[in-house]
Amino acid sequence: MKKSVWIKAGIGIIILVGVVFAGIFFFISSCASSLKVNVMNFDQDLNLKKPSEVKTKPIILFLGNSMTYVNDLPTVFERLSLSGGFVPEIYELTEGSYRLEYFADETDELGAEALNAIENYTWDYVVMQEQSGISAFGQEVMFPAARALDNKIRAGGGQSVFLMTWAYKDGVSRNLLGSEVGNTREEMQTLMAENYLNISKERNALLAPAGIAFMRCAKTNPEIELWDADGTHPSIAGTYLAACTLYKVLYEQSPEGLSYPEELDGSTALKLQKIAAGMN
């Protein structure tokens, strides 16, 4: 009798363990499935909004994080602009890993500074970029902050410019209970692009699609290294491509033939300029 009870208990435990493992497997499979993305056609015409007026001496504020301040994107853009005959007046507020929600938060130290600048100074453009992971997976965080900032920028007579950043070089992945789940570079960029395209369209704002320019360049000119050694931040070439893309959007002119950082050679710079020139 006792032997029978132990056998039944053992069978029950085996069944329970099997159910638990099946549940874990199903959970992991569901997570992996939910992360699959239909990759967009990065070569498609984006129908980008054009500025209502091309300003030759625009006053510009950059709001961002290390994707903006690594290699000093604002200065690279300023030098590019000067070589094209434009004279921008540029300011920036940047901090590592910062999100738009922080810039929109008056209780945050840098956020309070950003809101004060937006509300009390005159800007032609406020260029802002979201933290990479948030722009890919955090629409519910990104969009409310983008709307709040855009409302204040509009109230001050300025125009919002969303700077679409780039996916990580090797995509994004995470270990979930011993299994790797994640997205490829192209999938991550698709998620980022969709969110930037949607919020810029909703707000009737300008969009500088540097991330899509990265994808086009990686396809046609794979010999150009656009990412830094960490695989997330831009190389000098990547920053220059972002600056060229912003130049094309704000000035409605091709950056071909303009100046470039001394770290780049003329041939590489021209390839990057041509990529940006094709962003429409």
Q: What is the pLDDT of residue 177?
A: 66
DSSP per-residue string spanning 167-202: --TT-EEEEETTEEEEE-HHHHHHHHHHHHHHHHHH
The predicted-structure confidence for 242-264, as pLDDT tens digits, reads as follows 999 999 999 999 999 999 999 99
Helix, coil or strand: residue 254? coil
Q: What residues have CB less than 8 Å from 204, skipping those under 6 apart?
A: 49
Q: What is the pLDDT of residue 4?
A: 52
The predicted-structure confidence for 107-128, as pLDDT tens digits, reads as follows 999 999 999 999 999 999 999 9
The predicted-structure confidence for 9-28, as pLDDT tens digits, reads as follows 454 454 433 333 333 333 33
pLDDT at 154 over 60: yes
12-21, 79-88, 143-152, 225-234: which range is least confident on average?
12-21
Contact between residue 157 and residue 205 where contact means Cβ atoms under 8 Å apart: no
Q: Which of 1-5, 21-25, 64-68 is predicted most confidently?
A: 64-68
**Band of pLDDT at residue 1, cut at 50, 70 and 90:** very low
Pairing of strands 125-128, 59-64: parallel
In CATH terms, 51-277 corresponds, of 3.40.47.10, 3.40.50.1110, 3.40.50.300, 3.40.50.720, to: 3.40.50.1110
The predicted-structure confidence for 165-197, as pLDDT tens digits, reads as follows 999 999 998 766 666 779 999 999 999 999 999
DSSP per-residue string spanning 38-100: ----TTS---PPPPSS--SS-EEEEEE-HHHHTTTHHHHHHHHHHHTT---EEEEEE-TT--H
Positive or negative CA dihedral for 169, 174, 179, 183? negative
Rg of the chain taking only CA atoms, in angstroms: 23
Half-sphere CA count of 168, side-chain side, radius 13 A? 16
Q: What is the pLDDT of residue 27?
A: 33
Taking residues 203-223, what's their average pLDDT?
98
Contact between residue 245 and residue 206 where contact means Cβ atoms under 8 Å apart: no
% of the chain residues with pLDDT over 90: 84
Contact between residue 81 and residue 98 where contact means Cβ atoms under 8 Å apart: no
- The mean predicted confidence, pLDDT, of the chain is 90
User: Where do the domains of the chain lie?
Assistant: 1-34, 51-277
Residue 8 or 122, more confident: 122
**To 10 degrees, what angle do helices 236-251 and 266-277 make?**
40
Taking residues 202-220, what's their average pLDDT?
98
Structure tokens at 64: 């961002």
